[in-house]
Structure 1
Amino acid sequence: MKYLLLVSHGGFAEGLKTSLAMFAGDKIDQVIAVGLENGKSVDDFALEFREALAPLKEEDRVVVLADIVGGSPLTTACSVLDELGKLDSAVVLGGMNLPMALTSVVMKDALEGDDFVGAVLPEAKAALQEFKVASDDSDDEDDDI
């Protein structure tokens, strides 16, 4: 099985998992979320992350999404995955958002490697845009009559 691992600072990973359940509830048992909580050390996070991965079997693979590339949760998660012999087969992406996570959970079993990354990153990037509310000036003119 392939699992989606969400790692972040604070409660972002857990909150994202909760939101994912609204869209992909049938796959939520394949999502593991761990956050580096305020006041906890990186060692505490590593222990919690290792415990969260305990159900994984030797043949299981992972996709890791992190909030910040190079942040402590991501680098620590990668260290733990390396210790467990899972880093070489892992896909690791940073800058996670809901569209990225949703595409990842849906496509993780259908696509591999570069094809997977090529499907996920454009979805994440496409979600980043300004939302502009169009003004309907014709309504304002009617009020003046």
Structure 2
Amino acid sequence: MKYLLLVSHGGFAEGLKTSLAMFAGDKMDQVIAAGLANGKTVDDFAQDFRQAISGLTENDSVVVLADIVGGSPLTTALGVLEEKGLLSSAIVLGGMNLPMAITSAVMKDMLEGEDFVNAVLPEAQTALQEFKVVSDDDDEEDDDI
């Protein structure tokens, strides 16, 4: 089976998983979230992450979404995945957001490798945009002149 692993600083991964359930509830048995809690060490996180993925076997594969590429949660998680023999086939992406997680959950069993990455990253990038609010007050001020 292919699992989606959400890894972050603090409670971001767990919160994202909760939000993801609203869109991909039928896939949640394949989603694992783990965060490096404030005040915990990376060794504590490694132990927590090992426990979180204890049900995975070498026959499983993983997609890892992380908040920050190169951050302690991601590098620690990758070390644990290597210990379990799951790193060589893993797809690892950073800068996770909700659109990225939704697309990953839905597409992880349909696409492989670069095709998967090319489907997920544009969704994450497209979500980053400014929302401009136009105020009706601006029009009313012009009328008073």
- Calculate the TM-score normalised by the size of structure 1: 0.94
CA distance in 2, matches of 1:62, 1:19: 20
Q: 3-state SS of the aligned residue for 1:7?
A: strand
Kindly tell me the number of residue pairs found equivalent between the two proteins. 144
CA distance in 1, matches of 2:137, 2:12: 40
Report what 1:91 is aligned to.
91
Question: Structure 2 counterpart of 1:140, which letter?
Answer: E
- Residue ranges of structure 2 left out of the alignment (5+ in a row): none
Report what 2:20 is aligned to.
20
Q: 3-state SS of the aligned residue for 1:129?
A: coil
Q: Contact 2:57–2:84 (CA<8 Å) still a contact in 1?
A: no
Give the CA deviation at 1:38.
0.4
CA distance in 2, matches of 1:138, 1:96: 37
CA offsets per residue over residues 94-117 of structure 1, 9 Å max, x none?
000000001000000000000000
Q: 3-state SS of the aligned residue for 2:27?
A: helix
Q: 3-state SS of the aligned residue for 1:80?
A: helix
Q: Root-mean-square deviation (CA), in Å?
A: 1.7
Q: Please list every run of at least 4 consecutive aligned residues from structure 1 whose deviation after the TM superposition is greater than 2 angstroms.
A: 134-141
Report what 1:109 is aligned to.
109
CA distance in 2, matches of 1:57, 1:78: 15
Give the CA deviation at 1:133.
1.3
Q: 3-state SS of the aligned residue for 1:32?
A: strand
CA distance in 1, matches of 2:29, 2:86: 19
Report what 1:58 is aligned to.
58
Q: Contact 2:69–2:94 (CA<8 Å) still a contact in 1?
A: yes
CA offsets per residue over residues 50-87 of structure 1, 9 Å max, x none?
01111112211000000000000000001011111100
Distance 1:138 1:52, change over 3 A: closer
Question: Structure 2 counterpart of 1:116, which letter?
Answer: F
Report what 1:46 is aligned to.
46
Question: Structure 2 counterpart of 1:25, which letter?
Answer: G
Report what 1:140 is aligned to.
140
Sequence identity (%): 79
Report what 2:128 is aligned to.
128
Give the CA deviation at 1:137.
6.2
Q: 3-state SS of the aligned residue for 2:6?
A: strand
- Residue ranges of structure 1 left out of the alignment (5+ in a row): none
CA distance in 2, matches of 1:104, 1:123: 10
Question: Structure 2 counterpart of 1:66, which letter?
Answer: A
Q: 3-state SS of the aligned residue for 1:35?
A: strand
